[in-house]
Amino acid sequence: MKKDTENIRWSIPLILFLILCILSIGVAIIKELKKKVITPPVEIKKIYLPEVKKIPVAIIIDDLGWNRKIVKEIEEINVPLTLSILPKSPYGKEILEELKDKNFELLVHLPLEPMPPSQSFDKGLIKVDMTPEEIYQQLYSDLKDYLPYIKGVNNHMGSLFTSNPEKMEILLTYLKEMGLFFVDSMTSPKSVGYVLAKEMGIKTAKRDVFLDNSPNPQYIMEQIEKFIEIAKKNGKAIAIGHAKKITIDTIKEMLPVFEEEGIEIVPVSSLLE
């Protein structure tokens, strides 16, 4: 009996120790179960949507050189317009100096002879009765003060001259030798300038829309809308406006429309063929 009592006395601490161990293990397991399970982040695959390509258009502003104030109006637009300077205009060279290092592409607005009864009183006019040498001399006189900052020319008036294949070939040959492109203002539906320049391997383009044949703002807005529609149809377009406050103000007002329609204004050299 004494031996049994002794065994019980020794076995109780052992049992208590085992129970304590079991409880400790249980508590540890419960704690582990209560811990927040952190799952590895799910890898999110990037979805690359195709970039929506904007439709490029160019707007040429003709007749710069007579009004210095309009230059400030143009600079406020802050888009890459193409500016065409009349070579013998009173402020042409001053405007070139002011704009040559800014975000504009520069052309010379080359005076060519118009179809009668229209007349051009601009200095530097190139006429159909000139010899090849006279054409070259007048062309060089018109361009020399603007090189190397201009990249090309577009015609001022010129419905008679641009309709004459022989004279246009002479003029375009000289432009090609000078490394200049030609934009046909299309002042006459009979103009051969654009087609002939392509045949001669000269970088060229032609005007699609005149913006401001009327000084009415509503008319100019409608022409801009027409311009946008042509660009959407053809994938590009070229418009010509003039250095007038009403034209510049209307273009500025319509800039949000260009953005909404996915139209991007670019230098005309980006659209050459």
Task: Map out the domains of the chain with their CATH numbers.
Answer: 55-271 (3.20.20.370)
Q: pLDDT at position 249, please? A: 97
pLDDT of residue 33: 55
Asked if residue 217 lies in contact with residue 189, where contact means CB atoms within 8 angstroms, the answer is no
pLDDT in tens, 69-118: 999 999 998 899 999 999 999 999 999 999 999 999 999 999 999 999 99
Give the CA distances from residue 261 to residues 52, 53, 56, 224, 270, in Å, rounded to whole numbers and listed in that order: 12, 11, 11, 12, 20
Q: In 13-164, which ranges are E strands?
A: 55-64, 82-85, 105-112, 152-157
Q: How far apart are CA 201 and CA 269, in angstroms?
A: 15
Round to whole Å and give the CA distance between 259 and 239: 17
Q: Give pTM, 2 decimals.
A: 0.81
How many Å apart are CA 269 and CA 139, to the nearest integer?
A: 21
Q: 69-77 vs 92-99: helix axis angle to the nearest 10?
A: 30
Stretches in the chain below the pLDDT threshold 50: 2-3, 37-38
3-class secondary-structure state, position 141: helix
The per-residue pLDDT for 2 is 47
The predicted pLDDT at position 52 comes to: 72
For residue 47, the model assigns a pLDDT of 64
